[in-house]
Structure 1
Amino acid sequence: MKWEEIRKQYPNTFIKFEIVDSHMEEDKEIVDEIALIKTIKDGKEAMLEHLKCKTGQYIYNTAKDRVEIQMIKYIGIRGKI
């Protein structure tokens, strides 16, 4: 589903999802399309659900205009840019 559709269907709600389609803008991944896994009722439950996320799963609030994921480049074992 497109992010705009999710926002209309679930206003101001935490959701758990996987990325289906995205693009890069500078050092951020901008998510265009997602696969909804579940809705989450409040911030406390969102934090607990975040701890259970598998690789590629994210928790985000639909109050945001778009999904932006900050990318961090690691250089070696102990450094990051």
Structure 2
Amino acid sequence: MQWEEVRQAYPEKWVVLEAIESYSQDNIRVVKDMAVLDCFDDSMQALRRHAELHKQKPDREFYFFHTSRENLDIHEKKWTGLRKV
């Protein structure tokens, strides 16, 4: 699905998405194709579901957004320093 299709199918909802086809351009993540994994009325439920999915499958690309957003503005952050292993 594309974002406009998601917005029409799930109006005024929080959706948890998986990026199926995406790429980076000028520090912006562009998601061309996505799958809706879950939808919620409450942002905290969407956040918890996103965290759960990310913990289970950290190598996959998950997001959560409210469908009132016209565009997906996903800015990439560059991580510096050390992380726990």
Q: Which residue does the alignment assign to 2:69?
A: 64
**What is the percent sequence identity of the aligned residues?**
26
Contact 2:18/2:36 (<8 A) preserved: yes
- Which 5+ residue runs of structure 2 have no aligned equivalent? none
Deviation at 1:49, TM superposition (A): 1.9
Q: 1:74 to 1:44 in 2, by over 3 A?
A: closer
Q: Which residue does the alignment assign to 1:11?
A: 11
Higher helix share: 2
Higher strand share: 1
Contact 1:14/1:40 (<8 A) preserved: yes
Deviation at 1:73, TM superposition (A): 2.1
Alpha-carbon distance between aligned partners in 1 of 2:24 and 2:67, rounded to the nearest angstrom: 20
Query: Is the deviation greater in 40-49 or in 7-16?
Result: 40-49
- Which 5+ residue runs of structure 1 have no aligned equivalent? none
Q: CA RMSD in A?
A: 1.9
Structure 1 runs of 4+ aligned residues shifted over 6 Å read: none
**TM-score, normalised by the number of residues in structure 1:** 0.76
